[in-house]
Amino acid sequence: MSTVKVITNILEANDRIARQNAQLFGTAGVYVVNLMSSPGAGKTSLLERTVDALHGKLRMGVIEGDIQSSVDAERIGRHGVKAVQINTGGACHLDGNLIRDAVEDFALSELDLLVVENVGNLVCPAEFKLGEDIKAMILSVTEGDDKPLKYPLMFQESSALVINKIDLLPYVNCSVERIEERALAINPALRIFRVSCTTGEGLATWTAWLADQVAGKRPRARA
């Protein structure tokens, strides 16, 4: 059996489970975000800021994906939101089956928004559907402005791009304009947010947009 066929079979099996997950989330009226980035781009920091901003407005849950440890889940838990940890033991991404197991720890009918913080990686997570409503990615300015050229699938599959750490722009060789131009060339429908999780700049626009996405799903689920 060829390597290509094996990979195709794996993706097809995952897609079946992801569709089942999506049906489960749709029935419960839960909006699901698959949050992706390279290690250190600021996924957990963005989540902490998002949880705080939406406290009292949306009922949130978080699934944390890491190769090892429960550090990120503990950070999120300190903000009063339930976080379920998935340790992949070496795998570079989460898949539909892992998410299906993790959601058993949530009462989905009591959630408006579920965010999955995927394993830090700009390659594999973009290939595996989880049953999410959208994929969103974070790119920090410290990573440079060439990432859309090097990892186009991540930008192609994402609905939102959060450009983080803009407070560091005076100290790094990075052009936000080039990131946006290259990303939009790959995906013209991409919604882009410039933020700093350190200073808070731009976060209100991101959280307001996210709240609007959630509001757009729940009325349909209840109809």
87: confidence class by pLDDT, cuts 50, 70, 90: confident
pLDDT, tens digit (0-9, with 9 covering 90-100), for 44-75: 999 999 999 999 999 999 999 987 788 889 99
- Global pTM reads 0.91
Q: Which CATH number fits domain 3-222: 3.40.50.300, 3.30.429.10, 3.60.40.10, 3.20.20.70?
A: 3.40.50.300
Which tokens belong to 6?
A: 């094996």
- Give the DSSP H or E segment for 35: strand 31-36
Res. 219: pLDDT tops 70 = no
Q: Are 128 and 15 in contact (CB under 8 A)?
A: no
Res. 111: pLDDT tops 90 = yes
pLDDT, tens digit (0-9, with 9 covering 90-100), for 114-173: 999 999 899 989 999 999 999 999 999 999 999 999 999 999 999 999 999 999 999 999
- Provide the 8-state DSSP code for 82: E
CA dihedral 4, 121, 65, 95 (to 10 degrees): -20
pLDDT of res. 89: 78
Which tokens belong to 132?
A: 């999410």
For residues 113 and 60, give the distance between their C-alpha atoms in angstroms, rounded to a whole number.
5
Instruction: State the amino acid at position 137 in one-letter form.
Output: M
pLDDT of res. 2: 52
For residues 106 and 63, give the distance between their C-alpha atoms in angstroms, rounded to a whole number.
10
What's the chain's average pLDDT?
92
Domains of the chain: which residue ranges? 3-222
